């Protein structure tokens, strides 16, 4: 770990109250950044702040990322609390239900898309405007290996994460001349509370697809993110980084 690599940098982490988002926030703090945690779950958000340390390095904001108005308000509030927004890690998302396309409820499809894809668009749009104005920024959108391969009985989730990958590639090209790096990561499954939304047979399927024979640890994801949001990542943008334990085929 390069302690101090993110000194004087300010980060927004969505879905920051638990799971991958919380692990990322903890790593960014360890490397010297100040962090604004966004989450829709107020009690869990308060618990996360307590866990990370209730000091000036951490601010919390209750945000529904499907609402552009809430995202814009949280962006302004975070910038005021931190002084600027140099880093964005978009981790907020849901798995949705497990069902085949033939019987997948349209309302559930829209819910997954609204949170995972539309929400990611809202957050990227609101934050990147400030990054363009300051001619600096690092964005990491957390997608999934399912967005590249498509998991059976999880078409909504897979399609939403494929959309996140494409959004990342487009935004990376649009901002390449502004010293802004926009990248995505595509982890294999991590054993977090998102598993509570899945059928056991689907969890077993995902594990069977990982040559390493285990789920990725949130700390391993946070380690990759920490480099991607640092100044050391001065060239790569619009790219996709796999943490699939050997599953990825392209």
Query: So which residues are the catalytic ones?
Result: 157
CA dist 122 and 52 (Å) reads 26
For 86, half-sphere exposure in the C-beta direction (CA atoms, 13 angstrom radius) is: 17
CA dist 66 and 99 (Å) reads 23
What SS3 state is found at 91? coil
Q: Strand pairing of 240-243 and 180-187? A: parallel
Q: Are 111 and 96 in contact (CB under 8 A)?
A: yes
What SS3 state is found at 236? coil
- Enumerate residues 6+ apart whose C-beta is below 8 A from 243: 185, 186, 187, 188, 216, 220, 221, 224
Concatenating the DSSP letter of every residue in 54-68 gives SSTTEEEEE--TT-H
Strand partners, 241: 185
Q: In what order do the strands lie in the sheet with 87-90?
A: 58-62, 34-39, 10-14, 87-90, 137-142, 180-187, 240-243
């Amino acid at each position: 770990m390069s302690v101090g690599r993110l000194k004087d940098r300010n980060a927004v982490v969505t879905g920051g109250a638990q799971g991958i988002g919380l692990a990322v926030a903890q790593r960014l703090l360890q490397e010297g950044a100040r962090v604004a945690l966004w989450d829709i779950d107020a009690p869990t958000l308060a618990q996360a702040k307590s866990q990370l340390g209730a000091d000036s390095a951490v601010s919390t904001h209750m945000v529904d990322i499907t609402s552009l108005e809430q995202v814009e308000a949280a962006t302004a509030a975070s910038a005021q609390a931190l002084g600027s927004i140099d880093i964005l890690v978009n981790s907020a998302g849901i798995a949705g239900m497990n069902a085949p396309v033939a019987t997948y409820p349209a309302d559930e499809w829209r819910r997954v898309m609204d949170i995972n894809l539309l929400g990611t668009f809202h957050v990227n749009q609101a934050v990147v405007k400030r990054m363009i104005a300051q001619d600096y920024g690092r964005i990491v959108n957390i997608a999934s290996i399912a967005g590249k391969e498509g998991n059976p009985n999880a078409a909504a989730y897979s399609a939403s994460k494929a959309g996140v990958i494409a959004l990342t590639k487009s935004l990376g090209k649009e901002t390449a001349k502004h010293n802004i790096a926009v990248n995505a990561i595509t982890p294999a499954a991590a054993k977090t509370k998102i598993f509570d939304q899945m059928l056991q047979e689907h969890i077993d399927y995902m594990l069977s697809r990982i040559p390493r024979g285990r789920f990725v640890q949130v700390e391993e994801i946070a380690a990759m993110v920490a480099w991607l949001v640092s100044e050391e990542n001065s060239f790569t943008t619009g790219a996709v980084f796999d943490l699939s334990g050997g599953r990825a085929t392209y």
